[in-house]
Amino acid sequence: MNLGQEGEKVAQKFLEKKGFKFIERNFKTPRWGEIDLVMRDGDTTVFVEVKARSGSSAKLFGGPLGSINYFKLRALKRAAQFYLSSKKLGQEAARIDAVSVILDDSGTAKIEHFPNITGIVW
């Protein structure tokens, strides 16, 4: 299992402990990349971008979330809209969250959840 897969697994378990329901992992779109996790938080479909780092690389370039820029957010939103459309869930409330997973050398995970990183629920 690579670091990204391990991070997704850790993030999924973390969110499930917070009451989220797992729907799907690694949903691929034809144009806008992949959605790491699709979860449900009550009546809201939540698209989760997981960023995992380990060891000394964890703090480089703004940490795990440093790579989520305007272009990544735009792609995430389009991927989420594609998912809702393809699953015929167009009327569902939805948002995009991020989860940062930092694994230290002993395998211990530091997890941070950032709900609604776009600032909108649609």
- Single pTM value for the model: 0.91
Buried b (16+ CB within 10 A) or exposed e, 70-102: eeebebbbebbbbbbeeeeeeeeebbbbbbbbb
Mean per-residue pLDDT, 85-109: 90
Helix (H) or strand (E) holding 72: helix 70-86
**Residue pLDDT, tens place only, 21-71:** 999 999 999 999 999 999 999 999 999 999 988 876 656 555 667 778 899
Domains of the chain, residue spans = 3-114
Residue 6 or residue 63, greater confidence:
6
Please report the pLDDT score of residue 56 as a whole number. 64
Please report the pLDDT score of residue 63 as a whole number. 67
Mean pLDDT score across all residues of the chain: 90
Contact 51, 68 (CB under 8 A): yes
Contact 96, 117 (CB under 8 A): yes
Give the Å distances, CA to CA, from 92 to 9, 20, 30, 32, 51: 25, 16, 22, 20, 25
Question: Residue with structure tokens 């797992």?
Answer: 22
CATH class of 3-114: alpha beta
Contact 63, 70 (CB under 8 A): no
Please report the pLDDT score of residue 61 as a whole number. 56
Contact 69, 61 (CB under 8 A): no
Please report the pLDDT score of residue 122 as a whole number. 75
